């Protein structure tokens, strides 16, 4: 049986980051620090920021970013209903070209991150 998409993503990301870290310059390190701190609780809660990251990634059609923010949304307790509303806005803003990305995201949400059943029973 093949690995789950989320497991494969985490492994590949860790491997790529390990190699990339050997080449980071100070400007890139600052950017990565800003990226990390920007998603922490502030005037907006982390949950809202992760949903914003997800929808921006969806509209930009970046599958790695979509998956990253989908996983983070799951970690911070986004419900399937909340995700569904955000996906609807992403489709409205991004248009039909986002549909393949939505399909992959929702398949991962449903099969690996619990989807509707896990949220309703929890």
Element (H, E) at 76: none
Whole-number average pLDDT of the chain: 92
pLDDT at 57: 98
| 5-121 topology per CATH | AhpD-like (1.20.1290)
Q: How many alpha carbons lie under 13 Å from residue 10 in its C-beta half-sphere?
A: 7
Show me where the domains of the chain are located. 5-121
Task: State in Å, rounded, how far the first CA of the chain is from the last one.
Answer: 28
Query: Residue 31 corresponds to which tokens in the numbers above?
Result: 């950017």
Share above pLDDT 70 across residues of the chain, in percent, rounded to a whole number: 93
Please tell me the distance from the alpha carbon of residue 65 to that of residue 74, in angstroms, as a whole number. 14
Cβ distance 71 to 6 under 8 Å?
A: yes
| Residue in 45, 42, 50 with CA at minimum distance from that of residue 69 | 50
Cβ distance 66 to 101 under 8 Å?
A: yes
Residue 56 has pLDDT above 80, yes or no: yes
Q: What is the pTM of this model?
A: 0.87
Please tell me the distance from the alpha carbon of residue 38 to that of residue 42, in angstroms, as a whole number. 9
pLDDT at 119: 46
Mean of the pLDDT values across residues 3-16? 93
Please state, as a whole number, how many other Cβ atoms lie within 10 Å of the Cβ of residue 73: 23
Please tell me the distance from the alpha carbon of residue 44 to that of residue 93, in angstroms, as a whole number. 22
């Amino acid at each position: 049986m093949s690995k789950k998409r989320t497991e494969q993503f985490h492994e590949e990301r860790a491997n790529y980051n390990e190699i990339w870290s050997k080449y980071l310059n100070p400007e890139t390190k600052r950017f990565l620090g800003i990226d990390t701190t920007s998603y922490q609780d502030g005037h907006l809660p982390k949950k809202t920021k992760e949903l914003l990251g997800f929808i921006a990634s969806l509209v930009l059609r970046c599958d790695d970013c979509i998956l990253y923010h989908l996983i983070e949304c799951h970690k911070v307790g986004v419900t399937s209903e909340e995700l569904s509303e955000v996906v609807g806005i992403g489709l409205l803003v991004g248009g039909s070209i986002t549909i393949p990305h939505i399909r992959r995201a929702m398949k991962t949400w449903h099969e690996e991150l619990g989807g509707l059943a896990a949220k309703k029973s929890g």
